[in-house]
Amino acid sequence: MNTIDKQKIADSIRAIPDYPKPDIIFRDITTLIGNAEVFNGVIEILKNRYMDKKIDFIAGIEARGFIFGSALAFAMGVGFVPIRKKGKLPFTTVSEKYSLEYGFDEVEMHIDAFREVKNPKVVLVDDLIATGGTAEASVKLIESMGAECVEAAFIINLKGLQGEKKLLSHTKVFSILDYEGK
């Protein structure tokens, strides 16, 4: 890895068994972002990956994607676009629905998110990909605005839940850490 190794990143993430329900291991990144060396190392890995790709914006998925996405946007000197749950943004929005286990949810972004940049290149960022529903809807939302989602980047990929597969028909996927379980 670039400036920090994967094991140090993995060791900085707290695993909480049986949360939010039995047989789930919750990957708590608050311990990672509280460790300046590791957090900065993660941002440096992402920055190095995208600096030569002429990225115009970083889009982050609510809420932990805001943490990594805004830090990456700052490090790269590009704009940040928040993707939020329905009803959370104050201006005119565009939206994309996605399926949940029981029903649907929706993500939105401002209609002027890409501020008249012609053919913007965007990297989508979130802390973790699990089943991929929110990430896929976010990529579709970015594309619906005439932007190219160059890649979707995650700190953690829960490979056993196969969310990455949903995204591969839309964009490339990058993750720093892969876990086989859920």
Backbone Cα Rg of the chain: 16
Q: Are strands 25-28 and 57-61 parallel, antiparallel or unpaired?
A: unpaired
Q: Are strands 14-17 and 25-28 parallel, antiparallel or unpaired?
A: antiparallel
pLDDT value at 1 more than 60:
no
Q: Strand pairing partners for 176?
A: none
- The residue behind tokens 């460790």 is 35
Q: Helices 64-76 and 36-50 sit at what angle, rounded to 10 degrees? A: 60
Task: Give the amino acid at 102.
Answer: Y
Do residues 34 and 40 lie in contact, with contact meaning Cβ atoms separated by under 8 Å?
A: no
Measured distance CA(177)–CA(123) in Å, rounded? 18
pLDDT value at 179 more than 90:
yes
Residues 13-28: b if buried by 16+ CB within 10 A, e if exposed: beeeeeeeeeeeeebe
* Percent of residues, the chain, with pLDDT higher than 90: 91
Mean per-residue pLDDT for 91-118? 92
pLDDT value at 182 more than 70:
no
Measured distance CA(60)–CA(9) in Å, rounded? 20
Measured distance CA(140)–CA(60) in Å, rounded? 14
Residues 29-46: b if buried by 16+ CB within 10 A, e if exposed: beebbebeebbebbbbbb
Do residues 127 and 29 lie in contact, with contact meaning Cβ atoms separated by under 8 Å?
A: yes
pLDDT value at 2 more than 70:
no
Measured between its terminal Cα atoms, the distance across the chain in Å is: 24
Distances from the Cα of 74 to the Cα of 3, 47, 114, angstroms: 18, 10, 16
pLDDT value at 94 more than 60:
yes
